[in-house]
Amino acid sequence: MSVLDRSVLEQSTLADLHLIAAELSIEHYRRLRKGELIETIITRQGGEPSPAEKPAVAERPAARARQRRAAAAQEAETAEVTPREQAPHGTREPDGEAGSSSRRRRGRRGGRGRSGERGEAEGEARSAERRDGDDGEQSRGAVPEASAEAEIVEGTVELLPNGSGFVRVSGPEPSDADVYISAAQVKRCELVNGDQVSGPRRAPHRSERFASLVRIDTVNGRPAAEVADKGRFDDLPAVFPSERFELDQSDPTLKAVGAIAPFGRGSRVVISGGAWAGKSHLLRTLAHQLSATEGVSVLVALAGVRPEELSEWASGPLAPAVAVSFAASAEAQDNAVDMVIDQARRLAARGAHAVVLIDTLDGLHQPSARRALAAARRLRDGGSLTVIATSSRPLGGETTVIALDAAAAMALRYPALDVAASGTLRPELLLSPAAVKAMLKERARAIR
């Protein structure tokens, strides 16, 4: 490295001096104050033995005391940012030559894979920059401020199953120039697939492949603040469904559902019944029917189904948004359904009509199952979110229950609809007066 004069060194930060000291192989440079470190660097560049390498007996007591105080202060500052790992029984590993294992660990934390004094110096440089407020790397949890020279990117949003996403800057196809969007930013601005967003980007950190979006400035040409500050989905006024989904009358089961348990945009529908009653089959039939409905976005969440059913859905015309088998934990099933519900809520808040099909609610925790079902609603003067889910029994709060008869289904008697246990709340909003009268007559006959 080139020889640096005193004026350059005095203008450098302590973090930069640590890096220079590491390059010059100066031992124990962390224990030196800035002035002493500058003198040591100048001496080392001139080839003379540095003060840090002189025998301890030649040090004056006052100098040793200053070094001990500086080392203690440095240790305290480092502990505030990155706590040191401790050896067994709560004792710290030595900091000298005998503590090579501790230095290797600190090197991995500070230098992300580099070992020795170089990685240790870079790690401490970043810690010092954060403490001193320099323009160094930001900590992972913080939202960095964009500098005046930050590059502004613009592109199309593509969401991932985990709730985060990417800004596709070169069209729909992925590329290395794409910019990562965190899940928090997606939620804050209620982003959906296809949104056009813009904002400043930051370069990727050492362990990252893609650049990250610092903040979102615009969404579809509007300021992001307007999108983020609008009313929450749960606070928007809801009304009972009044626009019915038209079902295929050539299918006997769908015809029976439309006559006995109709549902519309914004309905909370549970398809209930015992094992082998045909709940999943009816849900797939409804999926094919609803996916052909104009102006409706259909999302499928498979949580706790058989592996064979995963293959059936994947090979069908409507691929699931998320899919986990019954071997997955209840937490994994909760998360799978929550992610799809969140996306559908954003669509409905934008004025769109979304339908979420869930198979099944049985493997979810009870609060998660109720939360997913309760998300369905028709927004006044807005969009709608319809949830159709399978379950062994109704949860409560449904607007439509489609109950299937397992005995009839196993005997291949179709439609296998339990008329007495099926029904719709406020059917007069979905059916004509004549159809309501026919439905009530059929229910009365089934009860007798």
More confident residue, 319 or 66: 319
pLDDT of 66: 56
Please say whether the beta carbons of 318 and 298 come within 8 A. Answer: yes
The predicted model gives 120-149 an average pLDDT of 41
Interval 337-363: pLDDT, tens: 998 998 899 889 888 999 999 999 999
Smallest CA-to-CA distance from 125 within 255, 21, 246 is with 21
pLDDT grade for 129, boundaries at 50, 70 and 90? very low
Cis peptide bond upstream of 262, omega within 30: no
Write the DSSP string, 224-262: HHHHHTSPPGGGS-EE---SBPP--TTSHHHHHHHHHS-
Interval 231-270: pLDDT, tens: 678 888 999 999 999 999 999 999 999 999 999 999 999 9
pLDDT of 251: 92
φ, ψ of residue 153 in degrees (nearest 5): -115, 155
pLDDT of 161: 79
Which of 46-60, 257-271, 319-333, 429-443 is predicted least confidently? 46-60
What is this structure's pTM? 0.61
pLDDT of 231: 64
The total of other beta-carbon atoms located within 10 Å of residue 179's CB is: 24
The total of other beta-carbon atoms located within 10 Å of residue 195's CB is: 23
Three-state DSSP class for 108?
A: helix
Q: Is the pLDDT of residue 101 over 80?
A: no
More confident residue, 349 or 70: 349
The helix (run of H) or strand (run of E) holding residue 371 is helix 366-374
pLDDT of 87: 34
Q: Across the chain, what does the average pLDDT equal?
A: 79
Cis peptide bond upstream of 360, omega within 30: yes
Domains and CATH numbers, the chain: 6-132 (no CATH), 152-228 (2.40.50.140), 238-447 (3.40.50.300)
